[in-house]
Structure 1
């Protein structure tokens, strides 16, 4: 209850300052009423969605949109508040100075219209960006291509193509045509194998049922393989019984098999070609910061040898530095996801790659290398929480393996 009261006070404070900016910038009263109506509608819908009985930390599309609209409205006022508050401090200082110097009654100068207009103009940038992210950004699928060179890659796998998907989060989807388009886009890459690195659902296996046939269409000549992510275990649901939770996980495993995924649970497989092989290793979720640590790398590598060329699938990238890189086996390539790139940031290839999530994860998006071992952190296929993406777009990764050293100018 205390956090709701604190949040309410902050919301009212931000809304009042936003209203003051609107009132100073224009004399059109209908705009005042519109602003107040939006403020009440946003907070009313949010309270209604999150105050009703829920199943733990479950976020369905309706709740996600309530959160998204609240985030957009708060971002609007968050820009306004420091500008208007700064002006109020200056106004107050001028009033005090006037009182002390002229010894007349205290006079507080009026707010300046152009300051409010500047504040509203700047506030419109994150506001419209977040709305765009909810309307179109979340399905703005991008294919990212990487070429990685390895001197010990088996000759038969020179030019081998891998498509990585991660963080489907099917419980958030609300547009079948967009998802079908993305599946077609994956198949157009014509990769040799498809690897999915966890979080098929938000919470329950039933979320994937409407999308079963759509994802069955994924094709790769050497098969489709997967691992579990932290959301796949149903840990964020208040299940009526432990048996119900366990059954949900079994249902998800069965569903993945029906879609065509070979689910690796601390296990390995070999991809064979022309008498040579590549080891594919998959661990269950292992993550720092309170996330499930079901992953067992030692168990997963029991069937492989140190000499094998190894690709590891591990949902959470924090596993890489903590256990994978220091391991006595050399894992040439690790594929992860989990971070979503926070679904918000700025990326201009060759210039800048930034997201607030970098303060939590050292490896948060794209390719990283350490002591000759690589990791790719996929930005995610779906979305969770905020029902959109801004600057960090949904990703389909295609990695080509090449034999030999990388070109010097690469």
Structure 2
């Protein structure tokens, strides 16, 4: 019987490895009466967990798919690396090459991930086109309407008090009338932002294990959200979160019912 068990384990391991290559493109909409008319149809592409390689077919597939989506803005939800031992300088070079053919009119925004190397984002080359949201915001004006993206410094939003304080700091300089999108790495942002003037939350997190057990959920740590929360839309209170499961893997190339994803969110006026 042991050989049947070995065959079963081999099939599971092969399937998990194969899943890491099965990148899916999810197209979804967010309808809101608060959205300015000038941003009706605004297209946001959300990615994260980029594990970049030189001359990689996997990387080129991601580039091609993003280009075909024709986004107005590109959001990177942290956790960018080549290998777990790669230095910042070499990873910056790979990231620059990855972004070279991508030129969305609204620019490229990023937030810190809890697996990014120390000072990875602070040490970006001066010529980098990436704008880091770190307890800060970027506002896009269009025909009298304003769309504001916010990010907080801590990627570990499960430290709720710290996340709430940083979000309040990021919101403080903003005026009224903006449509506000909070970008981050943790699904805990849905708890952090309760009661705050936020319209939408977009996050990228493989929840550590990139594994989903049917009928139970996603094993995780460093987060306070329910086990039933998984990729896709989650609503709590008056707020909605879209959780992207990322593109890379942690430690070993294995995914289980948790395919890598590129997400297109189209904002529509309700």
TM range (shorter): 0.7 to 0.9
C-alpha deviation, 1:278, in angstroms: 0.9
1:265 corresponding residue in structure 2: 134
Could you tell me how far apart the structure 2 residues matched to 1:256 and 1:335 are? 26
Conserved 8 A contact 2:54-2:94: no
Say if 2:31 is the partner of 1:161.
no
Say if 2:4 is the partner of 1:121.
yes
Could you tell me how far apart the structure 2 residues matched to 1:280 and 1:287 are? 19
Deviations 1:128-168 (A, max 9, x none): 2223433x322221101111111111111111111001122
C-alpha deviation, 1:317, in angstroms: 1.6
C-alpha deviation, 1:277, in angstroms: 1.0
**SS in structure 1 at match of 2:258:** coil
2:211 corresponding residue in structure 1: 344
C-alpha deviation, 1:397, in angstroms: 0.6
Which runs of 5 or more residues in structure 2 are unaligned?
none
**SS in structure 2 at match of 1:313:** strand
1:307 corresponding residue in structure 2: 177
C-alpha deviation, 1:360, in angstroms: 6.2
Deviations 1:240-260 (A, max 9, x none): xxxxxxxxx1x6434376442
1:152 corresponding residue in structure 2: 34
1:320 corresponding residue in structure 2: 190
Deviation beyond 6 Å, 4+ runs, structure 1: none
Could you tell me how far apart the structure 1 residues matched to 2:130 and 2:69 are? 18
Q: Per the alignment, do residues 372 and 187 of structure 1 end up closer, same or farther by CA in structure 2, a change over 3 Å counting?
A: same
**Corresponding residue pairs, total:** 262
1:230 corresponding residue in structure 2: 114
TM-score by length of 1: 0.57
Q: Per the alignment, do residues 298 and 195 of structure 1 end up closer, same or farther by CA in structure 2, a change over 3 Å counting?
A: same
C-alpha deviation, 1:300, in angstroms: 1.1
C-alpha deviation, 1:196, in angstroms: 1.1
Conserved 8 A contact 2:148-2:181: yes
**Which structure: greater strand fraction?**
2
Once the two structures are superposed, the pairs formed by residues 41-120 of structure 1 within 5 Å of their partners are 116=1, 120=3
**SS in structure 2 at match of 1:296:** helix
Say if 2:76 is the partner of 1:196.
yes
Conserved 8 A contact 2:205-2:246: yes
Query: Which of these two proteins has the greater Rg computed from alpha carbons?
Result: 1
1:284 corresponding residue in structure 2: 153
2:260 corresponding residue in structure 1: 394
C-alpha deviation, 1:206, in angstroms: 3.4
1:131 to 5, 10, 14: 14
Conserved 8 A contact 1:256-1:262: no
1:382 corresponding residue in structure 2: 248
Comparing 155-164 and 196-205, the one that deviates more: 196-205
2:57 corresponding residue in structure 1: 177
Conserved 8 A contact 1:346-1:392: no
Conserved 8 A contact 2:208-2:250: no
2:104 corresponding residue in structure 1: 220
Could you tell me how far apart the structure 2 residues matched to 1:256 and 1:147 are? 34
Could you tell me how far apart the structure 2 residues matched to 1:353 and 1:146 are? 25
Q: Per the alignment, do residues 181 and 336 of structure 1 end up closer, same or farther by CA in structure 2, a change over 3 Å counting?
A: same
1:5 corresponding residue in structure 2: none
C-alpha deviation, 1:122, in angstroms: 5.0
C-alpha deviation, 1:346, in angstroms: 5.6
TM-score by length of 2: 0.84
Could you tell me how far apart the structure 1 residues matched to 2:216 and 2:64 are? 28
Comparing 269-278 and 211-220, the one that deviates more: 211-220
Q: Per the alignment, do residues 377 and 301 of structure 1 end up closer, same or farther by CA in structure 2, a change over 3 Å counting?
A: same
Conserved 8 A contact 1:343-1:389: yes
Which runs of 5 or more residues in structure 1 are unaligned?
1-115, 235-248, 405-410
Deviations 1:11-52 (A, max 9, x none): xxxxxxxxxxxxxxxxxxxxxxxxxxxxxxxxxxxxxxxxxx
Could you tell me how far apart the structure 2 residues matched to 1:167 and 1:218 are? 17
Could you tell me how far apart the structure 2 residues matched to 1:367 and 1:126 are? 32
